[in-house]
Amino acid sequence: MRLQLLSDLHLETESFEPRPSPDAELLVLGGDIDATWAQLDRFAGWPVPVLMVAGNHEFDGRDLGDAWAGLRERCDSLGIRLLERERWVVTSAAGRRVRFVGTVRWSDFDGLGSAQRDRAMRASAYFLRLMAATRQGVPIDAEVMRNESLACRRWLEDELHEPPQGRWDDTVVITHFAPSLRCADPRYGRQPGTASFCNADEDLLPLADLWLHGHLHCRHDFTVHRPGRRPMRVVCQARGLADKGEADGFDEFKPIDVGATDEVRQGLLPGPCHTVPGDPAHPMESMP
């Protein structure tokens, strides 16, 4: 099954007109599409099914409790299938049954190891203030986000350990937050703030054939070895912000095949990021 992946379009500020890939069977929206939700209507009437996992910016200035119901209603009205801690199995044109599992995943702040958790949580304070979201009326702080994130992690872990029992052939995980430090944006290197972007889900990677994510405003495509099995693949295909140069070289039609042959995937790491690589003095400015 060939997929088109779009994430971090940030249509609340960016000028970008999404177009269907001519040969994709399904479009995946990886979150941070439009903080206002208004421009999700660009995906209404899309020629192939549209799956979406929300990003952190879909909750900017909103209460998590109300926002989930509202976002689901908005997506339903446009024919977009929103996945949050849910599975959806689709049969490809070639007859393969593909299990899609999706969740925002958020950040549990253990991406740099649990010993760094406190520092990572402190480093997230600025991002969380900008997000200005609440949960049951209480501002979302690092503790609330961690609890939300751990709930996502528990669901994902259980789901990925579920035996297929003939129900699916391939598994695609979609998260907004990244599953590994390997996904860290090379512009910023590894610093406490990196844990606001990347979780340590390496143990779950082999349970997926393909893991799609966003949140990092850079692009990469790498494989992870699985003994005795085809390598699994991790792809981020974020567009990001044009005025930061993040959209330079963005290929909205990049083909992503589930079950593609290994040789197609080789030599694709690392993807392009467009500013100073690994500059430890350059703190992340906002949560992508």
Binding site for Fe ion (CB under 5 A): 8, 32, 55-56, 215, 288
Q: Are strands 2-6 and 256-257 parallel, antiparallel or unpaired?
A: antiparallel
Q: What's the min distance (Å) between Cβ of 231 and Fe ion? A: 27
CA 152 to mean position of chain CA atoms = 13
What CA–CA distance (Å, rounded) separates 56 from 102?
A: 14
Q: How far is the CB of 261 from Fe ion (least distance, A)?
A: 31
d(CA 189, CA 279): 6
Strand, helix or coil for residue 155: helix
Q: How far is the CB of 272 from Fe ion (least distance, A)?
A: 17
Peptide bond before 270: cis, by omega within 30 degrees of 0?
yes
Distance set, CA 100 to CA 30, 57, 74, 86 (Å): 12, 22, 21, 8
Nearer to Fe ion (CB atom), residue 99 or residue 105 = 105
Residue closer to Fe ion by CB (options 179, 288) is 288
Which lies closer to Fe ion via its Cβ, residue 25 or residue 34?
34
- Residue 173 CB, shortest distance to Fe ion, in Å, is 17
Cβ(279)–Cβ(187) below 8 Å: yes
Closest CB to Fe ion among residues 56, 180? 56
Task: Pick the closer one to Fe ion by CB: 168 or 177.
Answer: 177
